Chains A and B, each alone.
Chain A
């Protein structure tokens, strides 16, 4: 055996040797390691969130209090432009008649079965006028006021929108229709899209190169608690929505919160800050009256990670079903395409189903995403991250305690990183 062979044989024998380290060695090492950087909620995060809340309630507060800035009742006609853009309506004379039909007799011989209402004036929306025009209109909900007659609309379950027919909507907001000089039909939007919905779908941004959905990817799940407190609130009646939300994570005192405002139920602009991930999110959510919903999201992370994502859902119910919020029964896919700093544009597909059962609602969803990484520079060296495929599936249940208050629980299996979510939802 040559010297080199001898060295190699001895070296090979010893290189594979592993001897159990003595117990307590890690404790000694850990005691001498620099203290772990505490994830603290920076002051400017709180400041940003606080400002968002202030703006939110400043905008919504007047409506919430039932008054407009000019002192008129809150439920008054929306801006004319808003009504007309919602749906192109036929041109009519300036004076319209509530409940008018094309074949209705006119002139002095016409039966005075229903009162004729002239152009909108605040006084024309008084309870007396409306109750005379619409039987049952005196059952006001929310609490009636001088200018807010409305019909009680039955709710269909936790977080679900009431079934509002055009006629009922007109009955609820006669002034809106009248002010628009559109007496034959009320301006009804087919999509009552709650703006906080895509927000939850897209809100998670972990300390990772990518962030999407509910995935705590790719390696940060080990240090976090599986328990998540989810609070969601949507405020604002009628045409405008404001909302606040907060996530509390028990593992490291992290918090995410933010607020948003929707000038229209179909468009929402939200801002969110996350102390855990050091990210700042801004997104624009939208939905049209044909059932299409979408969201654009921009995220800025610490360590210069940027994420731009776009989401499209074929039906708003899909988003609602997937995001613990208002739900409509049915199956609908959600497709998300996003581009991140470390990964090429990827597509994520979710399928969700929500089943209302009286006061209960069952949610189920499944999804998958594949990540094809780019070469990235790490520690001054160019490395290639591994291609990853993540799958997730979950079941959720919600229970309606009251028409406005509900409990939500769901379990999500994801690879990697599963979680249990419990929450309380209150609809103002």
Chain B
């Protein structure tokens, strides 16, 4: 992300307005920090008119977050790239539905997660309901979770069965309700609850095994 937004790369005005911009550009500071003067709502207003500069500014601001979400739902990086592309296109197309009251990041996160699930379903992901036989839970200390990096946690979640992984990501990570997750996945809310429970137990088991090995 060392590249500079097109608006700033060719804009002498920006450099004159803020001489430190040149230094930032030279030092490779993330360009998202260069648009702090524009609020999300202001950028959204401009992006609504299909103004490319504003769309690019929004992308620069949230591209990393969106891509991280896509990685959680995708089996590999190439698929995540495709998902991110589709998510951004959908975000720009649906930007008029953003009401400006909540955070744009939260709106983008939910939209991206739903878009990923939708794409996965189109690719034939198995979200069938499972028998309601709850496995035994495992006790995991809070410190064990905190000791793991986000990348390690993401790797463990990625190793879960696909249905588990989707429900866990939607509900536990993105904060969707079970009704919302069920709607996105095309299952019932009760199935969403049971799959979340299974996903949690499976993840705890993996983490417990990991800690046992480590100890």
Listed in ascending order, the chain A residues whose CB lies under 8 Å from chain B are 1, 3, 5-11, 13-23, 25-26, 28-30, 32-34, 36-37, 218-226, 378-381, 383, 386, 413, 415-420
Contact = CB atoms under 8 A, between A and B. Distances in A.
Closest 4 CB pairs of A and B: A18-B64, A7-B172, A226-B13, A17-B150
A7 B178 CA distance: 14
B96 to A, nearest CB: 6
20 contacts: A1-B139, A1-B140, A5-B142, A8-B172, A18-B65, A19-B64, A19-B71, A25-B81, A28-B85, A33-B52, A33-B89, A34-B50, A36-B52, A37-B49, A218-B42, A219-B43, A222-B57, A225-B12, A380-B99, A416-B37
A21 B11 CA distance: 24
Name the residue among B17, B55, B96 with the largest chain A CB count within 10 angstroms.
B17
Interface in B4-43: 7-8, 11-14, 16-17, 37-39, 41-43
B67 interface: yes
Given A14-B72, A20-B67, A417 B99 contact: no
B142 A1 contact: yes
A14 B154 contact: yes
A379 B41 CA distance: 11
A10 B68 CA distance: 15
B153 interface: yes
B100 interface: yes
B45 A378 contact: yes
A219 B99 CA distance: 19
B204 interface: yes
A19 B64 CA distance: 5
Given A6-B145, A18-B68, A19-B64, A418 B17 contact: yes
A36 B96 contact: no
Contacts, number: 159
Contacts of A1: 139-142, 145
Contact of B145 (A9, A15, A25, A223): A9
Contacts of B140: 1, 6
Contact of B16 (A14, A17, A23, A226): A226
Interface in B131-189: 137, 139-142, 145-146, 148, 150-151, 153-154, 157, 168, 171-175
B100 A15 contact: no
A53 B150 CA distance: 67
B46 A219 contact: yes
B130 to A, nearest CB: 18
A116 B199 CA distance: 113
A165 B52 CA distance: 58
Nearest to A35: B50
Nearest to B99: A381
B68 A19 contact: yes
B1 interface: yes
B180 to A, nearest CB: 15
Given A226-B11, A379-B98, A383-B101, 19 more contacts: A1-B140, A7-B200, A14-B150, A14-B153, A14-B157, A15-B109, A16-B150, A18-B68, A21-B84, A22-B67, A26-B59, A26-B63, A30-B56, A32-B85, A37-B50, A219-B42, A219-B46, A379-B96, A379-B99
